[in-house]
Amino acid sequence: MPRPFMALQLIFLLLCLLSLVSAAERNLVANLPGFDGVLPFQLETGYVNVDQENGVELFYYFIQSEGDAHHDPVLLWLTGGDRCSVLSGLAFEIGPVKFVIEPYNRSLPRLQYNPYTWTKAASIIFVDSPVGAGFSFSRNLKGYDVGDISASLQLKKFLAEWFSEHPDFLTNPFYIGGDSYAGKIIPFLAQKISEDLESGVSRPALNLKGYLVGNPGTGEGIDVESRVPYAHGHGIISDQLYETIMEHCHGEDYSKPKNVICAQALNRFSKLLDECMMAHILYKTCVYVSPRPKDGTEKRKSLKEKLKH
């Protein structure tokens, strides 16, 4: 689907949802513009303050499990970016609603139920993080100055506040999940929560059971080189190309290889990878609004740079 069309749909839905919630409040949402009838699931939206000094408010969507909400796991879901709205995860990935894909006719985009939603098996807290993503905001400009560590600690504060306001879910198994750039946040957040639990200072005590990451960005040194065996394992590149890269690129900087054979092989690898949707190899590639450079150097750099998008 062309990106301008996707962006337009997101803007419409964001404007609709914005009217449903204000800071420091929780709201149950029974209807959404574009969705026929009452929502067949329980949706709550709200804000949680995670920095009193700067007035930082993190926005969330909470959707209760359509199974046994009293016992099913609770999942915190973070999306990539960084600083992308978690609405993308809700409406395009694992949430209970999705857009009806049809030509744009200047009317409100239509929504429909997603029968493959993860909320059939778990309650999910979708959070716009870090501050500045989606509807999350700071009353002071200084509040937007956050990095991976401070954003993770704000999420820890968010969870403490959220579960204090939702004590009925404290005994449910709790997991942290996300994709893309969230792969840098989730392990650290899980570690900090685990340390608090082990030292007995976690208040309230979360029933943390584990974390999951999909298509994660974990670190350039790991991510870049791991793409070659991953692509080979899924049949995207040939045995011959894989063996050439393994033999001639060992110890090389994949963005600036000095070995000529390695550079040629990585250039070929990048061209093949461009045929794939980076977030899901079975999807068609997205259409970029702006043309992208096509020289070999840029393609080699993109092995790292695409992690940031």
Q: Which amino acid is at 155?
A: L
Task: Output phi, psi for 288, to 5 deg.
Answer: -80, 140
The C-alpha atoms of residue 213 and residue 201 are separated, in whole angstroms, by 26
118 shares a domain with 152: yes
Residue with tokens 């915190």: 76
Give the CATH number, domain containing residue 24: 3.40.50.1820
Q: Is 221 exposed, middle or buried (0-12, 13-18, 19+ CB in 10 A)?
A: exposed
pLDDT at residue number 283:
73
287 shares a domain with 168: no
Domain end residue (candidates: 176, 196, 216) = 216
261 shares a domain with 183: no
113 shares a domain with 49: yes
What torsion do the CA atoms of 253, 255, 260, 266 make, to the nearest 10 degrees?
A: 110
CA distances from 206 to 40, 169, 184, 297 (A): 28, 9, 21, 47
301 shares a domain with 186: no
Q: Is 38 exposed, middle or buried (0-12, 13-18, 19+ CB in 10 A)?
A: exposed
pLDDT at residue number 29:
94
208 shares a domain with 246: no
Per-residue pLDDT tens, the chain, 309 aa: give them.
445 445 444 544 554 454 444 444 579 999 999 999 999 999 999 999 999 999 999 999 999 999 999 999 999 999 988 789 999 999 999 999 999 999 988 889 999 999 999 999 999 999 999 999 999 999 999 999 999 999 999 999 999 999 999 999 999 999 999 998 999 999 999 999 999 999 988 889 999 999 999 888 887 667 778 889 989 999 999 999 999 999 999 888 888 899 999 999 999 999 998 888 776 777 766 654 445 444 433 333 333 334 343
The C-alpha atoms of residue 225 and residue 238 are separated, in whole angstroms, by 16
283 shares a domain with 190: no
Domain end residue (candidates: 169, 186, 216) = 216
242 shares a domain with 149: no
Q: What angle do CA 141, 146, 149 make, to 5 degrees?
A: 160
**Please, which residues have CB within 8 angstroms of residue 169's CB and are 6 or more apart in sequence?**
74, 123, 163
Domain end residue (candidates: 216, 239, 258) = 216
Into how many domains does the chain fold? 2
Domain that includes residue 241, residue range: 220-308
16 shares a domain with 162: yes
Show the tokens assigned to 145.
């100055």
Closest C-alpha to 123, from 163, 155, 83, 154:
163
CA distances from 14 to 110, 119, 201, 266 (A): 13, 21, 38, 40
192 shares a domain with 85: yes
Closest C-alpha to 286, from 88, 127, 115:
88
The C-alpha atoms of residue 62 and residue 28 are separated, in whole angstroms, by 9
94 shares a domain with 71: yes
148 shares a domain with 11: yes
The C-alpha atoms of residue 87 and residue 82 are separated, in whole angstroms, by 13
Print burial letters for 60-91: b (CB count within 10 Å at least 16), e (below 16): bbbbbbbeebeebbbbbbbbbbbbbbbbbbbb
The C-alpha atoms of residue 206 and residue 197 are separated, in whole angstroms, by 8
**Please, which residues have CB within 8 angstroms of residue 180's CB and are 6 or more apart in sequence?**
79, 80, 81, 215, 216, 217, 279
